[in-house]
């Protein structure tokens, strides 16, 4: 970890985002963090004092990103990884052993679930999936050997909200740590550390980098031993972030405080638009009045977030027709980017979750996820509206009749 880049910490988050990780001693006074696109660092002498040796162990550009993330989250230690999934797997490799147990929210990123369900059990680590918005369910799932409770809020893809403060209180006299995947809101949208998270996890691929340009992940914590273990495993298995992607992520961070409110305001507008559409049975958005997690989401989130989910009356057929009729929005798996991205979780990101379990969790075949981008919200609404019109033949006929009448 590099030392703080600030002579003194600026009080406003957007100022911190612009300057985080940037060293005042950068070569030639470079205004951006230099990109050390190198695998290797030559050593002047054997056994001399060296900071970096080989970029699988550490790299100055990656270290700058770690400093920035740590400053912004308000946690002393950060480790950057080449993907969000490698951040999560490295954390679990560093902290669990055969016989251990993990409790995980039942609605989480598909890859997190796949690792806990299909891979970790081979090493003797078991996972129980529970509704993390139900404290009794979480409490009942805890065992003496439970290492972590892992949650996402709002959760991918149904936007289910859980109460981080209440979970932290529940775990306070147990041996389990609370791990929060804060990918959907970032430190600017949800201060999970103040709410009681012990460990914060990111896919920086999403809102942090924010431009569909670089995969990445991070684990942040206050525990030096844990950080040392993470760095040790990362070096051993090779999951460190690449210098180039670290550089792109640092650049993305600078505008995150500007992007997040734009994503969120547009997302609320789109959620409200969808709510009024007859083809849409249900809309999920944390800040939509009357949604199940509304009170908690208003309390613990600074923004509603950039992701909306909607359920089609016509189920699978409706979702597929809608996705194929879009012209501006991209049909893709990513989220948190400049472009609006529509995903069909049942066939894309959550295709590996058992269909009966998917249904139980509300990841139904008619569910689509919209990551609302930075386009003008009117243009996004127009594209969605045109795609909805393509759904119902009856609507099309009426429209055609109108045109003929004109
Ligand atoms: C995308 C995502 C991940 C995985 O991140 P990658 O960078 O794609 O490996 C983990 N958690 C959440 C909430 C995500 O959205």
pLDDT in tens, 309-334: 999 999 999 999 999 999 999 999 99
Q: Is 139 in a helix, a strand, or coil?
A: helix
Tens-digit pLDDT profile for residues 340-385: 999 999 888 888 888 898 888 888 999 999 999 999 999 999 999 9
| Annotated catalytic residue within 181, 191, 198, 383 | 181
The rounded Å distance from CA 403 to ligand 1 centre is 45
206 labelled catalytic: yes
Determine the 3-state secondary structure of 219 from DSSP.
strand
Ligand 1 atom showing the smallest separation from residue 334 Cα:
1
Name the DSSP class of 115: I
Average pLDDT over residues 71-83: 97
pLDDT at 392: 66
Which ligand 1 atom sits closest to the C-alpha of 335?
15
Report, as an integer, the average pLDDT of 54-71: 97
Residues 6+ apart with CB under 8 A from 266: 306, 372, 373, 374, 375, 377, 380
181 is catalytic: yes
Protein residues whose CB sits closer than 6 Å to any atom of ligand 1: 83-85, 109, 111-112, 152, 156, 181, 183, 203, 205-206, 215, 217
What is the rounded CA–CA span in Å between residue 214 and residue 336? 12
| pTM beyond 0.85 | yes
Q: How far is the CA of 203 from the centre of ligand 1 (A)?
A: 5
**Rounded distance from Cα 27 to ligand 1 centre (Å):** 34
**Is residue 190 predicted with pLDDT exceeding 60?**
yes
Ligand 1, atom 1: closest residue by C-alpha: 203
Which residue, 281, 338, 295, is CA-closest to 162?
295
Q: Are 109 and 181 in contact (CB under 8 A)?
A: yes
Model confidence at 402, pLDDT cuts 50, 70, 90, reads very low
Residue 234 near residue 205, CB atoms below 8 Å:
no
109 is catalytic: yes
Q: Looking at the predicted structure, is the pLDDT value of residue 22 above 90?
A: no
pLDDT tens column, 201-235: 999 999 999 999 999 999 999 999 999 999 999 99
56 among known catalytic residues? yes
- CA 42 to ligand 1 center in whole angstroms: 35
């Amino acid at each position: 970890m590099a030392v703080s880049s600030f002579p003194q910490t600026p009080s406003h988050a957007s100022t911190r985002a612009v300057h985080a990780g940037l060293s005042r001693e950068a070569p030639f006074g470079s205004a951006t963090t230099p990109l050390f696109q190198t695998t290797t660092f030559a050593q002047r002498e054997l056994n001399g004092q060296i900071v970096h040796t080989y970029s699988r162990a550490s790299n100055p550009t990656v270290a700058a990103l770690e400093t920035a993330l740590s400053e912004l989250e308000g946690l002393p230690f950060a480790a950057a990884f080449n993907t969000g999934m490698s951040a999560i797997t490295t954390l679990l490799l560093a902290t669990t052993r055969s016989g251990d147990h993990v409790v995980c929210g039942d609605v989480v990123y598909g890859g997190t679930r796949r690792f806990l369900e299909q891979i970790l059990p081979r090493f003797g680590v078991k996972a129980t999936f529970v509704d993390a918005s139900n404290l009794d369910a979480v409490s009942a799932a805890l065992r003496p050997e439970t290492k972590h409770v892992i949650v996402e809020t709002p959760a991918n893809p149904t936007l289910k909200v859980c109460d981080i403060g209440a979970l932290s209180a529940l775990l306070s006299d147990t041996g389990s740590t609370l791990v929060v995947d804060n990918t959907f809101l970032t430190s600017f949208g949800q201060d999970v550390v103040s709410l009681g998270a012990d460990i914060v996890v990111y896919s920086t691929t999403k809102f942090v980098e924010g431009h569909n340009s670089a995969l990445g992940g991070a684990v942040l914590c206050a525990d030096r031993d844990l950080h040392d273990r993470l760095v040790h495993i990362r070096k051993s298995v090779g999951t460190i972030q690449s210098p180039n992607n670290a550089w792109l992520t640092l650049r993305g961070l600078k505008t995150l405080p500007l992007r997040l409110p734009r994503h969120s305001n547009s997302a609320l507008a789109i959620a409200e638009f969808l709510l009024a559409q007859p083809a849409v049975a249900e809309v999920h958005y944390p800040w939509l009045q009357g949604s199940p997690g509304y009170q908690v989401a208003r309390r613990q989130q600074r923004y509603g977030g950039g992701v909306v989910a909607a359920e089609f009356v016509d189920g699978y057929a409706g979702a597929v027709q809608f996705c194929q009729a879009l012209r501006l929005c991209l049909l893709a798996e990513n989220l948190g980017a400049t472009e609006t991205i529509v995903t069909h979780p049942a066939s894309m990101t959550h295709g590996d979750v058992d269909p009966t379990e998917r249904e139980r969790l509300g990841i139904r075949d008619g569910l689509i996820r919209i990551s609302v981008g930075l386009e003008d919200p009117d243009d996004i609404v127009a594209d969605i509206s045109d795609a909805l019109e393509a759904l119902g033949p009856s609507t099309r006929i009426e429209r055609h009749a109108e045109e003929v009448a004109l």
